[in-house]
Amino acid sequence: MKQEKPGWKNLPLGDVVQAGTAESFETGDWRSERPTWHPDRCIQCLQCWIYCPDSSIIVKDSKMTGIDYKHCKGCGICAKECPVKPEKAITMGPEGK
């Protein structure tokens, strides 16, 4: 989709933009690997939420409730850090299967 970009005369001065716009920029399609959350194994330690670099762990009322696939880039850090044994509460698998 082609977007018309403003010239220097119309661009707000000084490299200033509205804050928080990363939310409207979807990066979920960058993913080649997909995390899957297994609620039955989750111990609600929130390590995944702490480590996720893209704020893609959805937390409601202090509880992990799912993964924001619109923004998750599939880095796998959540799965790596999940401490649940023997099987982790977040596992990685190929995208698009």
Partner 1 sequence: MVKVVAKTGNEAMAEAMRQINPDVVAAYPITPATEIVMIFAKYVADGLVDTEFVAVESEHSAMSACVGASAAGGRVMTGTSSQGLVYMYEILPIASSLRLPIVMCDVNRAISGPINIHCDHSDTMAAQDFGWIQMFSENSQEAYDGLIQAIRIAEDPRLRLPTMVTTDGFIISHCMDKIELLDDADVKNFIGAERKAADSLLNLDKPVTIGLIDLQDYYFEHRCQVADAMKNAKQVILEVADEFAKKFGRKYGLIDGYLLDDAEYVVVALGSTCGTAKVVVDEMRAKGVKAGLLKIRVFRPFPAEEIAAALSKAKAVAILDRSDTWSAQGGHVFTEVRSGMFDLKARPKMINYIYGLGGREINLEHLRQVFGDLQNVDKQPLVQYLGVRE
Contacts with partner 1 by CB under 8 A lie at 5-8, 11-21
Between the two ends of the chain, the Cα-to-Cα distance in Å is: 27
Q: Are 5 and 47 in contact (CB under 8 A)?
A: no
Q: Among residues 54 and 81, whose Cβ is nearest to partner 1?
A: 54
Q: Report, in Å, the least distance between residue 1 CB and partner 1.
A: 15
C-alpha span between 85 and 71 (Å, rounded):
27
Q: Report, in Å, the least distance between residue 3 CB and partner 1.
A: 10
Q: Among residues 3 and 32, whose Cβ is nearest to partner 1?
A: 3
Q: Report, in Å, the least distance between residue 20 CB and partner 1.
A: 6
Q: Among residues 18 and 62, whose Cβ is nearest to partner 1?
A: 18
**Which residue has 């200033």 as its token pair?**
16
- Strands 63-67, 57-60: pairing is antiparallel
